[in-house]
Every structure is written in C-alpha cells, then in structure tokens.
Amino acid sequence: MCGRFSLTSSTEALQSLFGFSERPNLAPRYNIAPTTNISAIRLEEGEDGHKSHHFFAHWGLIPSWAKSSEFSARMINARSETVAEKPAFRAAYKSRRCLIPANSFFEWQKTGKSAKQPWLIGITDMPLFAFAGLWESWISPDRETINSCTILTTTAAKSIEFIHPRMPVILDTSDHDTWLNGKGGEDLLKQFAADRMKFYEVSNRVGNVRNDDEDLIEPTENTGTQGQLF
C-alpha cells in the first residue's frame, strides 16, 4: 500500500520533469498523509493539443456517483490487479489517469505483535518520480466541485518485500505520457526493479501526521544491515 510519502522538490524541478506551465506554490512536504490535498499532473486539451497540467487533488478518491465523501479515506489506494473492474475505479482507469509526484514514500515493517518500524523508500536513479494515479471530479451536495485521486499499488519489489508486501506503482519517466494518454495498461502496473530501490529506517515520529519536518526523512542510527542509504 501507500499511506505516506514526501515531496520536497522545487516547483522548477517538477516543471522540468513533468512539463506543466503552471506555477503552483509548493512548500516542501515531508509527511504527506491521506485526505489532504496533493499535487497531481493530468493531460488537458489545449489549442495545441493535449498538455500536462498541474492540479491539486484530495487524496482519497470520491467516485462521481458517490452520495457523500465519507468513504474517501478508504480509497487512497487502488490495487492494480483489480482496478479495471472495480466500480469505484474502472471509469477513472479508462479516461482519468494522473501522475502523482514524490521523492520517497514510507512503509511500516511489523517487528512484533503490535510494534512497527517505519522505513523511507526511494529510487536510486530517480530522486523525483511519479506514482501511477487516477483522478475523479465530484460535485458535493453544496455544489462544490472536488477533485480527488488515488494511488495504484502492486506487489513490492523483492528488495523491500521484507518491509511490506505491497508498494505504490512507480512509473519510469519514459512511461509518463503512455500512462496519461491511456494507451498503457497492465504492462505498466508491474513490480519495480529490486536493484533500483533504496531504503532505510526512520523515526517513529512519521506516524504522527502533525509532524512535517526534514528530520522525518533522516535515517536512524540503527538502520541495520538490511538498509541501503541514499
């Protein structure tokens, strides 16, 4: 799954990688949590054809047919194996795809009956990358239009499966356009290359959504032999 991630790159870095022209005011976020508004990129029609567009979306998909937004917290992830069939996701999978930029993400490893150790995970050769996402536009009973999104997940890369059996779908830069224009399907929702993953233990402070500072992405002193520092 994916329940927390970081995005600390500058607006200029995001523009360079994703090709959008907007100038969003993006402060570094070290502990992005569900049900908050997050950065996303989608294709929009323009005079010169489709172009990348940056927008903010509520993390937790709200299908267009939903009566309320109450269950969006349970829709932060969509399993890639069933996304094309699930009623909540299949329409967005066909025509409303997006990229969700990140620098790293967090997963929790079970270390005892109730104890869990958080790990920060990133990509060796892509310090800024994108999760495969879906988006929807929902009109509330008050007639407010709310954009929302979800992150697709798949089986974890072999190098990090000891932490958690699932991970977000991470797209190679060369696959961004294919994902956005809907021409790519199951072939992009694959297990990520194990040798490209980097990971280390971080502070339990990341478990509190009110904490959002640079120390959250620093390795602990006892990262251990399984960790691989960036």
Cα separation, 161 vs 156, whole angstroms: 5
Please say if 107 is a catalytic residue.
yes
Distance from the Cα of residue 72 to its chain's centroid: 15
Task: Count CB-CB contacts under 10 A for residue 52.
Answer: 19
- Which of 5, 17, 19, 20 minimizes the C-alpha distance to 55? 20
pLDDT digits (tens, 9 = 90+) for 30-66: 999 999 999 999 998 766 668 999 999 999 999 999 9
- Would you state the pLDDT for residue 155? 96
- Would you state the pLDDT for residue 223? 60
* Secondary structure of residue 160 in the 3-state scheme: helix
Among 73-87, 127-141, 215-229, the range scoring the smallest mean pLDDT is 215-229
* Secondary structure of residue 73 in the 3-state scheme: helix
Distances (CA, A) of 125 to 47, 103, 129, 144, 196: 35, 11, 10, 41, 7
CB 37 within 8 A of CB 21: no
Residue 226 has pLDDT above 60, yes or no: no
Residue 9 has pLDDT above 50, yes or no: yes
CB 20 within 8 A of CB 41: yes
Residue 225 has pLDDT above 50, yes or no: no
Please say if 2 is a catalytic residue.
yes
DSSP 180: H
Q: In CATH, which of 3.40.718.10, 3.30.930.10, 3.90.1680.10, 3.40.50.1860 is domain 4-105+128-195?
A: 3.90.1680.10
Cα separation, 206 vs 2, whole angstroms: 14
Angle at 95 (CA atoms; ends 60, 128), nearest 5 degrees: 60
- The per-residue pLDDT of the chain, averaged, comes to 93
- Which of 3, 40, 6 minimizes the C-alpha distance to 153? 3
pLDDT digits (tens, 9 = 90+) for 110-159: 998 888 999 999 999 999 999 999 999 999 888 999 999 999 999 999 99
Q: Which of 98, 107, 136, 201 is catalytic?
A: 107
- Would you state the pLDDT for residue 151? 98
Q: Which of 2, 98, 136, 201 is catalytic?
A: 2
The single-letter code of the amino acid at 84 is A
Q: Specify the residue for token string 């224009």.
A: 181
- Region 195-200 average pLDDT: 97
